[in-house]
Amino acid sequence: MQFGKSAVRKINGDAQVVLRGMLRAINDSRADRLKKQLAAASPVTWTGCRNSSRCRALMQACREGHLDCVNALLHQGPFTQLNACNSEGRTALMCAALSGTVDCINALLQHDATSQLAAGDSAGWTALMHAATANHVKCVEALLQHDASTQLQDCDRRGYTALMLAAIRGHADCTKALLQHAASTQVNDRNSIASGYTALMCAAINGNANCINELLQQDASVQVNAHSTDGLTALMFAALHGTGDCTNELLQRDALSQLLARDNHGMTALMCAACTGNMDCMLALLQRDASIQVNAQGSDGYTALMFAAYQGNVDCITALLQQDASAQLNARASTGSTAVMLAAAEGHLACVSALLQQDASSQLAASVDAGLTPLHVAVQKGHRGVVRALLAAGADPFVIISQVDRVLFKEIIADVCQEASMPHMLQSALVDFAGHALVRTKTARSGKDI
């Protein structure tokens, strides 16, 4: 049937009047009043009814959890509203799942359940995903009474399943409820968009130990040894972003295999913890086969100690040096650099000081192929505080070899020699090296010009 413009305007006006009355009845949970308005509205007027956010009356009733109103609306036939959506693409079933109104879900699923369960909003989230993300366990269980296998395999636009979303949010009860159906398939599902993440990886990234425990009730060995497209395992994700609890939970299964696993760059979980300064995870990792871990080297030759030194994570350095310190301090990266060289290059004074607490002489004398020592590196980078620490620890100032190094060193000496904390003999040696004509300063003891 075709309507003229004036007829359309009248229908729209009538629809708004009817809708406002229905929404008032729904908000007041007055199903009796709602039924009267439904009976009085023409089918054409009823079909056009939406509220200000383009959400139909049924969605509002589901959101509010008014079951009598939902039933009243559902029995107003012929019914065409079940898959109508609001501006965010959400249907009535999604509104009920998001609000946790399980009775409304059960009522809706008596009408064309398959179509409703398969619908996704603008983010690709289904009703099950909304329920799992909001931690509405009863809603999850109600939804899974209908075509569970299809729902569990559905992915949103970012590639996440309902189980992954529950794991991300840390909802252990929903995770457990989801795993009551096709658990083996779910735990091994991969996110094809987000680097091949599994649900276990999602839980580890977000530090959700309770979810990890639930997930590892099924195919634990397979899960803990799975790698993302970047080669990262759940343990590595825990070391990068998680907590000590997550690390301990993961290490209850096949620990040695996890500790020795490498990502695409040859990094281990311990190296990941050293990079981010995640002390809780590092301490948990060092409780198991520490000597194997601390001496492992990545594809670039870096050890965990080198990563900690490069990133400036002094607490990690202290923890690592409790294990086979000499081997770690003298290890070389593929470039020939040692941990103290990396710390010196980045200007991490606290790290340099921590490293020089043990076996300082061999560290200070170490050099790369070009003959550069930690002192060279610190001078070239202009890190005066590090230069000061290296000299105080016994670094030889006379090893500076290039003309550029000498000029920079002379500039730094002028500052260093003014400090009362520098030993008098060392000051004299530095001044001799720099040359009386180039350095004019006062010694801390005599106060006389040189």
In tens, the pLDDT along 371-430 reads 789 998 898 888 989 988 998 898 887 777 665 566 667 667 666 655 555 555 555 555
Q: Return the number of other C-beta atoms located less than 10 Å from residue 12's C-beta.
A: 12
Q: Is residue 281 classed exposed, middle or buried when 0-12, 13-18 and 19+ CB atoms within 10 A define those classes?
A: buried
Q: How far apart are CA 383 and CA 378, in angstroms?
A: 5
Which pLDDT score is estimated for 352? 97
For residue 284, the model assigns a pLDDT of 95
In this predicted model, what pLDDT tens digit does every residue of 309-365 receive, in sequence order?
999 999 999 999 999 999 999 999 999 999 999 999 999 999 999 999 998 999 998
Amino acid making up residue 108: L
C-alpha 399/C-alpha 365 separation (Å) is 10
Q: What is the CA radius of gyration of the chain?
A: 34
Distance CA 334, CA 298 (A): 10
- Pairwise CA distance, residues 447 & 336, whole Å: 43
Q: Return the CATH number of 338-450, one of 3.30.565.10, 1.10.1040.10, 1.10.10.2840, 1.25.40.20.
A: 1.25.40.20
Nearest Cα to Cα of residue 57 among 33, 77, 78, 84: 84
Please give the pLDDT value at position 418: 59
User: Could you give the 3-state DSSP secondary structure of residue 366?
Assistant: coil
First to last CA, the chain: 106
Distance of alpha carbon 273 from alpha carbon 168, whole angstroms: 20
* Positions of the chain with pLDDT under 50: 1-12, 50-55, 78, 436-450
Long-range pairs for 225-231: beta carbons < 8 A, 24 or more residues apart: 225/254, 225/257, 225/258, 225/261, 226/188, 226/198, 226/200, 226/201, 227/196, 227/261, 227/263, 228/195, 228/196, 228/197, 228/201, 229/195, 229/196, 230/195, 230/263, 230/264, 231/262, 231/263, 231/264, 231/265
The one-letter code for the residue type at 6 is S
CA distance 102 to 166: 18
Q: What is the pLDDT of residue 10?
A: 41
What is the pTM for the complete model shown?
0.82
CB 49 within 8 A of CB 57: yes
- pLDDT for res 22: 65
How many whole angstroms from its chain centre is CA 87? Answer: 30
Q: Which of 374, 284, 358, 352 is nearest to 321 (CA)?
A: 358
Q: CB under 8 Å to 371, separation ≥6 — which residues?
A: 401
Distance between CA atoms of residues 410 and 390, nearest Å: 16
pLDDT for res 190? 86
In the block, tokens 């009860």 appear at 173
- Confidence at residue 449, expressed as pLDDT on a 0 to 100 scale: 39
Helix (H, G, I), strand (E, B) or coil at 442: strand
**E strands, 237-307, where?**
none
CATH 1.25.40.20 intervals, the chain:
160-296, 338-450
Q: Which fold has domain 160-296?
A: 1.25.40
Coil, helix or strand for 199? helix
Q: Which DSSP string do the residues of 138-152 spell out, in sequence order?
A: HHHHHHTTSSHHHHH
Work out the number of other CB atoms within 10 angstroms of the CB of residue 262.
18
Q: What pLDDT, on the 0 to 100 scale, is given for residue 96?
A: 94
Structure tokens at 164: 């992954």
